[in-house]
């Protein structure tokens, strides 16, 4: 369980969904160094613009719930 903090990861699948006019992303991702595949739904405002499979990310947690995702600085 991740009480709070941030972990590095990689997006595997990204799907934008519309629920009654509110946009969310359904994401599948893994943490760096782990094989467990994780799933989350996050509001469009809580993630950077145009996320894509393969993106390196920082996943922020509070009480084991994803609260934000930002693109990792890959040096490019």
Pairwise CA distance, residues 49 & 30, whole Å: 20
Phi-psi region of 50 (alpha: psi -120 to 50; beta: other; left: phi over 0): left
CATH code for the domain of 26: 2.40.50
Whether 10 is covered by a domain: the verdict is yes
Q: Is residue 76 part of a domain?
A: no
30 is a domain residue: yes
Count the domains in the chain. Answer: 1
Whole-model pTM?
Answer: 0.90
Q: Which pLDDT does position 3 carry in this prediction?
A: 83
Q: Is 52 within the bounds of a domain?
A: yes
- Listing DSSP states for 32-69 in one string gives TT----EEEEEEGGGB-SS--TT-EEEEEEETTEEEEE
Distance CA 26, CA 44 (A): 10
List pLDDT tens digits, range 34-73: 999 999 999 999 999 999 999 999 999 999 999 999 999 8
Residue 76 has pLDDT above 60, yes or no: no
Give the per-residue pLDDT at 1.
72
58: containing domain: 4-71
- Beta bridge partners of residue 3, listed in sequence order: none
């Amino acid at each position: 369980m991740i009480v709070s903090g941030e972990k590095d990861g990689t997006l595997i699948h990204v799907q934008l969904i519309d629920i009654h006019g509110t946009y969310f992303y359904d994401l599948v991702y893994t943490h760096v160094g782990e094989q467990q595949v994780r799933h989350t739904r996050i509001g469009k405002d809580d993630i950077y613009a145009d996320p894509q499979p393969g993106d390196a990310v920082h996943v922020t947690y509070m009480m084991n719930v994803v609260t934000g995702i930002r693109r990792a600085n890959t040096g490019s």
